[in-house]
Chain A
Amino acid sequence: MLELDHARKLLGKEHRAGPFPVTRQLIDEYCAVLGETSPLYTDEAAARQAGYESVLAPPALCVLFANRASLPGVIIPDVRSSGAVAGLVVEPFVTVQAGDFLTASSRLKEVYPKKGRRGTTMFIIWETFLSNQREERVARVETSFAVQG
């Protein structure tokens, strides 16, 4: 059974990670894995023609860094071992391009139990804001984990 009271003590506490470099190589590999072919993400010349300094990062790439931020220091062991991702929200605010550095600031936003046919499920909601080297918020990522209690 999860320690609900203990989990709630972690609410709002900030976990920072980064800065993470958004390299051209990372964007290339990400696009290759996903089969992303949009020129703004894959073609330097097309990105420059559109007014950017380099290729853009696809909007969901920032999730890679959001997940890294919440890994350490969070004392709900079942979440990582048997919890399942129940939901994900990605809200890009500003374009990210190769050469940027992103910093992640995560906090435990909400923890609540929900009763269903299979018993009680604990929902654990993490919210991460990613900022670039100019301290602009570039994206918000919200990840919901469901853990059988």
Chain B
Amino acid sequence: MEQGPPLYFEDVDLGDEIGPLDKTPTDDAVEAFCDLAGTPVPNRFVHPEEAKRLGLPGPIVPGTMSAAMMSQLFTSWAPTATLKKIDVIFRRPVLHGPIRIAAVVADKRVEGVEHLVECHVYISSQDGDLSVGGKAIIALPSRGE
């Protein structure tokens, strides 16, 4: 998803969709992420035998990596968007392979000097099953500023 043009609070409406952002966390990408995070080995993210030992169908994407990719949806949205908070719940493991990240604008409000947009955000698998869901709050500039 290429970064869009500058976006203002007034440009956004309830129900607007953000994305989708299609990503494919590969075995190599997950291993590289775990290396950056200093994740101890063996682990359920990279090692199939460890994933199997824990009853998982295969190595999974770390929750921190899923959240990072969800954040990217908003940083890619517009150069004027500032992520204020993302709060996600991991409903089921995210397996390596294609995923889709998308969001819907659920609320808009002004708090003090900040113009905030609240979104429902989720990751779904190739089959359309919801794996991770949550909400994000993004600040946008106002045309009136």
- Chain A residues at the B interface, C-beta cutoff of 8 Å: 26, 29-30, 32-41, 58-61, 63-64, 67-68, 71, 80, 82, 84-92, 143
In the assembled complex, which residues on chain A have CB atoms less than 8 Å from the CB atom of B71? 58-60, 90
Minimum Cβ distance to chain B for residue A55 (Å): 13
Chain B residues bordering chain A, tally (CB within 8 A): 34
Task: Assess A60 versus B63: contact at CB under 8 Å? Given A37-B3, A38-B75.
Answer: no
* Option from A60, A82, A92 in Cβ contact (under 8 Å) with B84: A92
Whole-angstrom CA separation of A16 from B29 in the bound complex: 29
The winner among A84, A88, A143 for most chain B CB atoms within 10 A is A88
Known pairs A33-B32, A33-B36, A86-B89; A91 contacts B84 (CB<8 A): yes
From B32, B38, B64, B87, give the contact of A60 (CB < 8 A).
B64
Given contacts A63-B68, A88-B63, contact A38 B36 (CB under 8 A): no
Residues of B bordering A, CB below 8 Å: 2-3, 23, 29, 32-33, 36-40, 54, 62-65, 67-69, 71-72, 75-76, 79, 83-90, 93, 134
Instruction: Known A84-B90, A87-B90, A90-B85; judge A26-B36 contact (CB<8 A).
Output: yes
Contact A88 B85 (CB under 8 A): no
Q: Is the CB of B64 within 8 A of A89?
A: no
Chain A's nearest CB lies how many Å from the CB of B76? 6
A-side contacts of B40, CB under 8 Å: 71, 80
Tell me how far the C-beta of B72 lies from the nearest C-beta in chain A, rounded to whole angstroms.
Answer: 6
For A71, the chain B residues whose CB sits under 8 A away are 40
Q: Contact at A64–B85, with CB atoms within 8 Å?
A: no
A-B residue pairs in contact (CB < 8 Å), sample of 22: A29-B36, A32-B32, A35-B23, A36-B75, A38-B76, A38-B79, A39-B3, A58-B71, A59-B71, A60-B64, A60-B86, A64-B36, A64-B38, A67-B37, A68-B37, A86-B89, A86-B90, A87-B90, A88-B63, A88-B64, A88-B87, A92-B83
